[in-house]
C-alpha cells in the first residue's frame, strides 16, 4: 500500500531497511511507487544504506547486507560511472614520480585505463590493482604489506598502515563508500579507512573519486576530511546542482 505524505530521508531509509529486514530484499521501482518519490531518490537512499552497511545493492534493488562486498562483485556495480570517473582522473596522474592508489574498484578501473607513463611508481594495497598496473608501460607497481581482508581482498591491518606510513607520495588517488560535506569521506570497513588515512597523510595531494550515488552518504568509518582532498571527481557534469554543497570545499572535476 502506498505511503501518503512526504517522508524525510531518514524516514524513507528506515522504511527501506524495514522492508529488507522483513522480506530479504527491496525493489527500486516498487519502493519509489509506494513511497511516492522518484527512482533516483530510492537509488540514493540505497547507496547511503549500503555505505552504512545496512544492505547490499543488486540490479534493480537491494538485499540484506553481509558486510563489505567482495572486489569482483563491487567491480561489476556502476561500471559506466567508474569508467567515466577514470577517464576524467587519468590526466591528473603524472608521467613520472611516486603516487598511491587505494584498493577500490573505481581506482582499479583507472589503473586499467592509465596508459603509458615515463617513470611512474604506484603504491597500492590491492592485488587486483597491482595486476592491472603490471601491464602498463613505464609504471612500476609496488604492493604494500598487510593482511588480506577476506571480505574485500584489500591488504589492511597494522603492517599495511606501517608500510604506508614509511612512504611519501606526490599524489593519492582514492574512492570511498560515501562523501558528505560535513562528515567527509567514509568507509564501510574500519580497517580500510585506517589505511586510507595513512596514505592520505603521506601524500602531497589527494584526489577523491566517487560516483553520484555516494554523494551525501556517511558510512561507518571516516577515512578523510574534505580539507585533505584537493580534487573531487565524479561521473556528473561539474556544473550539476548535486555538487553545489562541495564547491566551496574542493575543486570539482
CATH number at residue 15: 1.10.10.10
- Residue where a domain terminates, one of 66, 89, 110: 66
Q: What's the average model confidence in pLDDT over 218-232?
A: 91
Residue 149 lies in a domain: yes
Cell 513511497, residue located = 35
Parallel/antiparallel/unpaired status of strands 119-124 and 139-143: parallel
Binned at pLDDT 50, 70 and 90, residue 243 comes out as: very high
Are both 146 and 108 inside the same structural domain?
A: yes
Which pLDDT belongs to residue 75? 54
pTM summary value: 0.75
**The three grid cell numbers given for residue 180, joined into one nine-digit string:** 558528505
Q: Does residue 53 contact residue 188 with C-beta atoms inside 8 Å? A: yes
Identify the DSSP state of 69: P
Percent of the chain with pLDDT over 90: 59
Are both 57 and 81 inside the same structural domain?
A: no
pLDDT beyond 80 at 2: no
Torsion of Cα atoms, 68 then 70 then 76 then 80, to 10°:
50
Determine how many CB atoms are found less than 10 A away from the CB of residue 23.
11
Q: What's the average model confidence in pLDDT over 240-245?
A: 92
122: CB partners within 8 A, 6+ apart? 98, 99, 100, 101, 111, 133, 139, 140, 141, 142
CATH number for 165: 3.40.50.1360
Binned at pLDDT 50, 70 and 90, residue 132 comes out as: very high
Pick from 65, 130, 140, 103: nearest CA to 223:
103
pLDDT beyond 90 at 117: yes
pLDDT beyond 80 at 150: no
The total of structural domains in the chain comes to 2
Least confident of 58-62, 83-87, 109-113, 247-251: 58-62
Q: What phi, psi does 179 have (nearest 5°)?
A: -145, 130
Which pLDDT belongs to residue 90? 95
pLDDT beyond 60 at 3: no
Are both 222 and 112 inside the same structural domain?
A: yes
Are both 147 and 42 inside the same structural domain?
A: no
Which pLDDT belongs to residue 1? 46
**The three grid cell numbers given for residue 17, joined into one nine-digit string:** 531497511
88: enclosing H helix or E strand? helix 79-89
Are both 52 and 87 inside the same structural domain?
A: no
Q: What's the average model confidence in pLDDT over 3-32?
A: 79
Model confidence pLDDT, tens digit, residues 133-149: 999 999 999 999 899 88
Domain of 161, in residue numbers = 75-252
Model confidence pLDDT, tens digit, residues 162-193: 999 999 999 999 999 889 999 899 988 889 99
Residue 184 lies in a domain: yes
Which pLDDT belongs to residue 239? 94
| Average predicted confidence (pLDDT) for the chain | 87
Which pLDDT belongs to residue 213? 77
Residue 4 lies in a domain: no
Q: What is the 3-state secondary structure (H, E, C) of 103-115?
A: CCHHHHHHHHCCC
Residue 2 lies in a domain: no
pLDDT beyond 70 at 72: no
pLDDT beyond 50 at 198: yes
Residue 153 lies in a domain: yes
Amino acid at each position: 500500500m502506498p505511503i501518503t505524505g512526504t517522508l524525510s530521508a531518514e524516514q524513507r531509509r528506515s522504511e527501506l531497511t524495514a522492508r529488507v529486514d522483513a522480506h530479504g530484499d527491496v525493489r527500486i521501482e516498487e519502493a519509489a511507487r509506494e513511497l511516492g518519490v522518484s527512482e533516483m531518490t530510492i537509488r540514493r537512499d540505497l547507496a547511503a544504506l549500503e555505505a552504512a552497511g545496512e544492505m547490499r545493492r543488486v540490479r534493480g534493488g537491494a538485499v540484506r547486507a553481509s558486510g563489505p562486498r567482495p572486489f569482483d562483485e563491487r567491480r561489476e556495480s556502476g561500471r559506466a560511472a567508474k569508467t567515466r570517473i577514470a577517464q576524467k582522473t587519468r590526466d591528473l596522474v603524472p608521467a613520472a614520480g611516486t603516487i598511491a592508489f587505494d584498493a577500490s574498484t573505481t581506482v582499479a578501473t583507472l589503473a586499467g585505463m592509465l596508459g603509458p607513463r615515463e617513470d611512474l611508481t604506484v603504491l597500492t594495497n590491492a592485488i587486483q590493482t597491482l595486476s592491472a598496473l603490471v601491464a602498463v608501460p613505464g609504471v612500476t607497481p609496488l604492493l604494500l604489506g598487510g593482511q588480506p581482508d577476506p571480505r574485500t581482498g584489500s591488504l589492511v591491518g597494522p603492517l599495511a598502515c606501517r608500510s604506508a606510513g614509511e612512504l611519501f607520495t606526490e599524489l593519492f588517488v582514492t574512492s570511498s563508500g560515501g562523501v558528505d560535506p560535513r562528515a567527509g569521506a567514509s568507509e564501510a570497513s574500519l580497517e580500510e579507512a585506517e589505511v586510507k588515512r595513512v596514505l592520505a597523510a603521506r601524500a602531497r595531494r589527494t584526489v577523491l573519486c566517487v560516483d553520484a550515488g555516494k554523494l551525501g552518504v556517511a558510512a561507518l568509518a571516516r577515512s578523510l576530511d574534505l580539507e585533505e582532498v584537493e580534487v573531487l571527481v565524479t561521473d556528473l557534469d561539474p556544473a550539476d546542482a548535486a555538487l553545489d554543497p562541495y564547491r566551496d570545499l574542493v575543486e570539482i572535476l
